[in-house]
């Protein structure tokens, strides 16, 4: 109720759809008077004007908020079930949908609920984390509805097409590198480039001038970025060193190979020996080199760890003079290479560590830019 009332105070046209079960808790008349609009419950009520209501509401909506989102509605949408006004409206709409789960903590922890949440996040649905604390059912745990003011802030932030990077030049590296062994073979890694490209797209949307130095990837290029394609770690290093001076913010996402072949054979190596030894030599550490020369530029690095994530990332941050490390535990499901989602922690120069829940790489990108712009304002 408070969410509807606060939105109305912000002059938002709010239409409430209630499930039958919700009407057991609150009389639709209450929402009608707060929203100043008719409240929709049943699928087959006589409409006031002749329109197919779930379609007209679905098309009219700029944003759909499901608060509180029960385990039931989350499960229904995840399973593609549209058997009442709310699930049908969600299904028929192109608007962003925000779920604000609230339920007994055991229900929220339930693997099926968690799988449904992960599935919907990977499909682009938005979720707020429930709060921990004492719940209506008398138990304590994670499952409480967030504060109405936080729900409103989330909605406003999602809507607010921020142009806070206008005038800023951002240099981003993305993707893997290929280290040649001979003319036909190379050493590489599983980086897809999705995270770096997502940051480039988000920075472009927020008004930045974006230069993207990309390793070999097979994904769509962010429209509007100035792209330099490179193959090897040495090429990436040289390109970064050539471009960094003209930039304000340096975000090093590329998974640059630590080592390259000491000597690259100019002919295809023949399959003659039983054992073959290839000598490797260290590639330049691009983030560390930038740390030495960055001056007041913001430097963000990525770190893929499998153990002692926070300790390793904090050590890297200090030794390489970075402003923030985005650390992902690539051993977790839904994090790291190739996936559309990521689970990251921000290790920040001021000693703060922020853990983000699983979210789309595009959402991680915006969270990174939020931190960067805060640092930029402080400098």
Ligand X SMILES: Cc1cc2nc3c(=O)[nH]c(=O)nc-3n(C[C@H](O)[C@H](O)[C@H](O)COP(=O)(O)O)c2cc1C
Active site residues: 137
Confirm or reject binding of residue 363 to ligand X (CB under 6 A): no
Nearest to 40 by CA among 24, 57, 25: 57
Residue closer to ligand X (CB basis): 102 or 326: 102
CB nearer ligand X, residue 85 or residue 300: 85
The interface with ligand X within residues 8-27 (CB under 6 A) comprises 19, 21-22
Q: In whole angstroms, how close is the CB of 108 to ligand X at the nearest point?
A: 8
Angle of CA points 276, 282, 288, to nearest 5°: 160
Cβ burial, residue 228 (10 Å; 0-12/13-18/19+): middle
Q: Of 4 and 298, which has the nearer Cβ to ligand X?
A: 4
Say how many Å lie between the first and final Cα of the chain, rounded: 41
Give the nearest distance from C-beta 192 to ligand X in angstroms.
35
- The whole-angstrom separation of Cα 285 and Cα 89 is 51
Contact pick of 7, 34, 85, 103 for ligand X (by CB under 6 A)? 103
Q: Are strands 249-252 and 353-355 parallel, antiparallel or unpaired?
A: unpaired
Structure tokens at 120: 């919907």
The nearest distance, CB 70 to ligand X, in angstroms, is 3
Q: Rank residues 138 and 351 by Cβ distance to ligand X and give the closer one.
A: 138
Write the interaction track for ligand X spanning residues 30-69; mark x where CB under 6 A is met and - where it is not: --------------------------------------x-
* Among 169, 261, 179, 181, CA closest to 215: 179
The residue among 43 and 264 lying less far from ligand X, judged by its C-beta, is: 43
Q: Which of 127, 203, 114 is CA-nearest to residue 167?
A: 203
Round to whole Å and give the CA distance between 55 and 91. 9
Q: 63 to 102, contacts with ligand X by CB under 6 A?
A: 68, 70-73, 102
Residues 260-319 that bind ligand X (CB under 6 A): none
3-state SS, residue 300: strand
For residues 106-125, which are near ligand X according to CB under 6 A?
107
Is residue 207 within 8 A of residue 164, CB to CB? The reply is yes
Nearest approach, Cβ of residue 6 and ligand X (Å)? 21
| Smallest gap from residue 52 Cβ to ligand X (A) | 21
Nearer to ligand X, 73 or 200 (CB): 73
Q: Starting at the earlier edge strand, list the strands of the sheet with 126-127.
A: 64-69, 97-101, 126-127
Size of the site for ligand X (CB under 6 A): 11
Name the residues that contact ligand X, by CB under 6 A: 19, 21-22, 68, 70-73, 102-103, 107
């Amino acid at each position: 109720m408070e969410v509807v009332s606060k939105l109305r105070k912000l002059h938002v046209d709010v239409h409430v759809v209630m499930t039958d079960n919700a009407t057991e808790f609150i009389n639709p008349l209450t929402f009608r008077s707060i929203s100043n609009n008719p409240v929709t419950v049943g699928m087959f009520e006589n409409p006031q004007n002749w329109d197919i209501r779930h379609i007209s509401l679905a098309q009219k909506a700029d944003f759909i908020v499901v608060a509180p989102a029960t385990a039931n509605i989350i499960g229904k949408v995840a399973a593609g079930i549209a058997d009442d006004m709310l699930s049908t409206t969600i299904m028929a709409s192109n608007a962003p949908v925000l779920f604000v789960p609230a339920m007994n903590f055991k229900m929220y922890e339930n693997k099926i609920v968690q799988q449904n949440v992960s599935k919907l996040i990977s499909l682009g649905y938005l979720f707020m984390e429930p709060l921990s604390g004492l719940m209506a059912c008398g138990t304590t745990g994670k499952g409480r509805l967030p504060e109405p003011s936080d729900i409103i802030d989330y909605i406003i932030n999602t809507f607010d097409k921020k142009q806070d990077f206008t005038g800023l030049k951002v240099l981003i590296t993305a993707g893997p590198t290929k280290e040649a062994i001979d003319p036909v073979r190379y050493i590489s890694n599983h980086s897809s480039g999705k995270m770096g490209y997502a940051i480039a797209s988000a920075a472009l949307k927020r008004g930045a001038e974006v230069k993207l130095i990309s390793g070999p990837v097979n994904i769509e290029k962010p429209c509007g970025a100035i792209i330099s394609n490179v193959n090897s770690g040495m090429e990436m290093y040289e390109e970064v060193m050539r471009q960094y001076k003209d930039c304000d913010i340096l975000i090093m996402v590329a998974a640059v190979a630590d080592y390259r072949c000491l000597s690259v054979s100019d002919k295809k190596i023949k399959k003659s020996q039983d054992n073959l030894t290839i000598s490797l030599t260290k590639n330049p550490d691009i983030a560390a080199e930038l740390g030495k020369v960055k001056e007041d530029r913001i430097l963000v690095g990525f770190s893929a760890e499998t153990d002692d994530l926070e300790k390793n990332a904090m050590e890297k941050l200090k030794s390489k003079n970075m402003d923030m490390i985005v650390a992902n535990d690539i051993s977790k499901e839904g994090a790291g290479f190739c996936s559309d989602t990521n689970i990251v922690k921000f290790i920040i120069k001021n000693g703060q560590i922020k853990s983000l829940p699983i979210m789309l790489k595009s959402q991680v990108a915006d969270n990174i830019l939020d931190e960067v712009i805060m640092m930029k304002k402080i400098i």
